[in-house]
Amino acid sequence: MLFKHYKHHDHLLDTCRRQKSPGLKAFLYFAGLVPLLLGLLVAAYFGAVVLKARRATPAIVKEAMGAGRIRVCAADLPRERLEELIKIEDPAFLSHSGVDLRTPGAGLTTITQALVKIFYFKQFKPGLSKLKQTLIARYAVHPLVSKQDQITLLLNYAYLGRCRGEEMRGFPAAAQCYYGRKLDGLREDEYLSLVAMLIAPDTFNPVFNPRANKDRVDRIKKVISGKYIPKRHMDIYYGPVDPRTQTALAPASYFSSIYQN
């Protein structure tokens, strides 16, 4: 009798389990389905961003390199100065695919990504814009714009601080305003002072912050000569900077821990 009672009790439990299991299965099914759907939506969104950029890129480059807009080409720059620019601004530029997350001294923005910020964004904000910038650089600008054209665009459109109340866009304009000479007439330190500005144009402005600019030029010269080798990916200032300069830098660009033993 007791045995029958327990069998009846087990039967009731099994019935209860069978009644609950469909709901549990449905919950688990939808719980797994939601992340999948979200992932597909995110992929579709960023896929559309890249597709739009690829379609727009030929027209963007054509307009940017139109008649009267280009004052200096990559081929016009002496080989040594071209190499100096690349070594400091984007050391793996000639070999990477628009994005570089490993090379010591490369930082968070390649030349390709810098061009994306200039030509594809009206307003650029950290976070989502950075992700878009990276995808456009990798899948639109890199495959569709030659390295030579990318350098040419950087030379003519890079923001190089303010001079005499005006924004300086491009090396030729900056050379004329800051030093009163054409780009090919600059002395070595003057040219490097413009290269020094690319990372933080207002912080290293040779007029408003000549001390900070000269200090960075001296560090750049050590990197070029091989006397200083960047330690890690984010070693973009080539050693500790003084507190006054540090307060003017983007927090995400400077990490003092890199230089601690």
Confidence of residue 251 (pLDDT cuts 50, 70, 90): confident
Number of domains the chain is built from: 2
Q: Domain check: are 151 and 53 in the same one?
A: yes
Mean pLDDT of 10-14: 49
Q: Is residue 200 part of a domain?
A: yes
Q: Domain check: are 225 and 116 in the same one?
A: no
Q: List the one residue out of 221, 199, 201 whose CA is nearest residue 109.
A: 199
pLDDT at 231: 93
Confidence of residue 31 (pLDDT cuts 50, 70, 90): low
Confidence of residue 115 (pLDDT cuts 50, 70, 90): very high
Instruction: Name the region of 163 (left: φ>0; alpha: ψ -120 to 50; beta: rest).
Output: beta
Q: Is residue 27 part of a domain?
A: no
User: End-to-end CA distance of the chain, in Å?
Assistant: 79
Q: Is residue 71 part of a domain?
A: no
Mean pLDDT of 18-39: 62
Contact in structure between 134 and 99 (CB atoms under 8 Å): yes
Q: Domain check: are 134 and 235 in the same one?
A: no
Six-digit token pair at 186? 């600059």
Residue 205 has pLDDT above 50, yes or no: yes
Q: Domain check: are 106 and 151 in the same one?
A: yes
Q: Domain check: are 41 and 120 in the same one?
A: yes
Q: Domain check: are 41 and 151 in the same one?
A: yes
Q: Domain check: are 109 and 57 in the same one?
A: yes
Residue 23 has pLDDT above 80, yes or no: no
Q: Domain check: are 187 and 134 in the same one?
A: no
- Write out pLDDT tens, residues 151-187: 999 999 999 999 999 999 999 999 999 999 999 999 9
Q: Domain check: are 240 and 184 in the same one?
A: yes
Q: Domain check: are 140 and 248 in the same one?
A: no
In angstroms, the CA 182 to CA 98 distance is 30
Mean pLDDT of 195-209: 97
Q: Is residue 237 part of a domain?
A: yes
Contact in structure between 138 and 97 (CB atoms under 8 Å): yes
The last residue of one of the domains, among 128, 157, 186, is 157
Residue 3 has pLDDT above 50, yes or no: no
Q: Is residue 228 part of a domain?
A: yes
The last residue of one of the domains, among 157, 178, 206, is 157
Higher pLDDT, residue 227 or 36: 227
Six-digit token pair at 113? 């990504």
Q: Is residue 81 part of a domain?
A: no
pLDDT at 27: 58
Q: Domain check: are 202 and 235 in the same one?
A: yes
Q: Domain check: are 123 and 225 in the same one?
A: no
Query: Residue 200 CB: number of other CB atoms within 10 A?
Result: 21
Question: What's the predicted TM-score (pTM) here?
Answer: 0.85
Rg over alpha carbons for the chain, rounded to the nearest Å, is 27
- Give the CATH number, domain containing residue 190: 1.10.3810.10
Q: List the one residue out of 77, 86, 80, 124 whose CA is nearest residue 105.
A: 86
Owning domain of residue 218 = 158-252
Mean pLDDT of the chain: 89
Confidence of residue 10 (pLDDT cuts 50, 70, 90): low
- Write out pLDDT tens, residues 67-106: 889 999 999 999 999 999 999 999 999 999 999 999 999 9
Residue 46 has pLDDT above 90, yes or no: no
* Helix ranges (DSSP H) in the chain: 2-64, 79-89, 111-120, 128-136, 142-144, 147-157, 171-179, 188-197, 210-225, 243-246
Q: Is residue 107 part of a domain?
A: yes
pLDDT at 67: 84
Residue 135 has pLDDT above 80, yes or no: yes
Mean pLDDT of 123-141: 94
Q: Is residue 57 part of a domain?
A: yes
The last residue of one of the domains, among 157, 184, 204, is 157
Contact in structure between 180 and 97 (CB atoms under 8 Å): no
pLDDT at 11: 52
Residue 4 has pLDDT above 50, yes or no: no
